[in-house]
Copies of this chain bind each other. A is one copy, B any other.
Amino acid sequence: MSKNNLSKGLNIVLILCVLVLLIMLKYNKGDVETNITKDEKNTTIETIHERKSVRSYTDKKVTPEQLETIVKAGMAAPTAVNKQPWAFIIIDSRETLDELGEVLPYAKMIKNAPAAIVVCGDMTKALEGQSQQFWVQDCSAATQNILLAVESMGLGAVWTAAYPSEERIKSVTDILELPEHIVPLNVIPVGYPVGTEKPKDKWKPENLHWQKWTKK
């Protein structure tokens, strides 16, 4: 190869390299922009709005690690006077899930779910007197954490109530062998969503007031 031809060849290589580098830079810039958009969108608020009640699940198993991560999110909820008056039961035994599905009219979907979480109030940890009722608020906050963790992990769940129905409390208590001081608030089937359920838009401006009731 003559010196002249070699330099021509190198020039072509250089031009191509610069072009490829420019493409790479553009590519990266695109990525960065996407990330900024993602942050501005606010992933947490996105999850809050994407959460839906999922009642149909695929056959895919949910791992014990996933279930523990979800319950840990539940235990991060605030509680009145930091009493943490709760207990969580994770169920991934087919037999127990089916037993619950048999007796809970509003939780029949649990028969098709690979797992469930039961959020309970612990009356030995709850406040006394009228304030004992705070366990319901505390455990409801924990439940919402659980539902959001589930959504953020690509899983689906639905809050099916036990408390205050005495019949449902008794059914869950019997099957899960709960002691007297433990009251089940709900039963939450968890699984991979089939994908049929979509989030509801519940934003109603008339439910928002400014400063005082009368000054809308």
Tell me the A residues contacting B by CB distance below 8 Å. Answer: 1-2, 5-6, 8-10, 12-13, 16-17, 20-21, 24, 27-28, 31, 42-45, 47-49, 51, 53, 68-69, 71-73, 75-78, 80, 82, 84, 86-93, 96, 122, 130-131, 133-134, 136-138, 140-141, 143-145, 147-149, 151-153, 159, 161, 164-165, 175-179, 182, 185, 199-200, 202-204, 207-214
Contacts and interface: CB of A to CB of B under 8 A. Distances in A.
A76 B88 CA distance: 24
A199 B27 CA distance: 36
B89 A210 contact: yes
A147 B78 contact: yes
Given A20-B24, A84-B207, A90-B211, 16 more contacts: A1-B9, A5-B5, A9-B10, A9-B13, A20-B21, A43-B43, A44-B149, A48-B76, A84-B204, A89-B209, A92-B211, A130-B165, A136-B140, A137-B143, A148-B148, A178-B213
A43 to B, nearest CB: 4
Nearest to A166: B130
- Assembly of this chain: how many copies? 2
A212 to B, nearest CB: 5
A151 B179 CA distance: 36
A19 B88 CA distance: 54
A73 B90 contact: no
A30 to B, nearest CB: 10
Contact of A69 (B8, B45, B82, B149): B45
Contacts of A20: 17, 20-21, 24
20 contacts: A16-B16, A17-B20, A43-B44, A48-B73, A51-B76, A75-B204, A82-B200, A87-B209, A88-B207, A89-B208, A92-B211, A130-B164, A133-B164, A136-B136, A136-B140, A138-B140, A141-B143, A141-B147, A145-B148, A175-B212
